[in-house]
Amino acid sequence: MVGRVRPHRVARSYVRSLEYLVAISWKYGIEPEDILDCLFEAREKGESVRGDFKVECRNRADGYVYFLLTSCGEMVAQLRLKESLLVDQSRTRSIFERVVKSSSPKNRAKETVINPKISDLKVGARVAELKARVVSKQPTKRVQSRWGNSFFFSLAAISDGTAVINLPLWNAQTSLVSIGDMVQIRNGRVGSFRGERQLNIPKKMGKLSVL
């Protein structure tokens, strides 16, 4: 009699690596899928950028790939992932989806909010729409990666009268807004950098406009 085939088991080390990526996504306000896409792309091209978040492939040796993750030019994490985890992308995405769904609620804010008060925003929250005034803006600077790509970056701060939150600006966004402007952010994500909240604008779905 033919024995029943057992389902292929997932190595615990794989799951731990993916759980760590999910934790980073909630902390820095990045869509989990964007981090995974960045890792796949960086393995092939050397680096990958999503807004103010960047993944660089630093080395490949003994079946492992070494990555550097940065946000606003500052280090977020250094990762060592098994290359097999990055080769079979469809299987890894399937495992990753389960990890995201099973993430502890205390590590994330699941709600999507419309026209919230900035004082009420929690790290991990998705912001469908928010209007606020630009109260400060740092001089724009050019940031260059070790691969030769350059980006323009400025850090602004916005307020709705209840609180202030940082707003990272990249490339064309840096010249779009000025101090005193009323801006509208759509499909933003609240993250944290150096202990301060920031409202990130995802490259794919986010939108920034001046009213």
1 pLDDT higher than 70: no
**Helix, strand, coil percentages, rounded to 5, for the chain:** 30, 40, 30
Map out the domains of the chain with their CATH numbers: 12-107 (no CATH), 112-210 (2.40.50.140)
* Contacting residues for 74 by C-beta, under 8 A, at least 6 apart: 193, 194
Percent of the chain with pLDDT over 90: 27
- pLDDT tier at 139 (50, 70, 90 boundaries)? very high
Report the largest interatomic distance among the alpha carbons of the chain, rounded to a whole angstrom: 77
Distance between start and end Cα atoms, the chain: 72
The number of residues making up the chain comes to: 211
123 φ/ψ angles, rounded to the nearest 5 degrees: -60, 130
Residue 82 to residue 10: CA distance in whole angstroms: 13
- The answer to which of 4-8, 26-30, 205-209 has the lowest mean pLDDT is 4-8
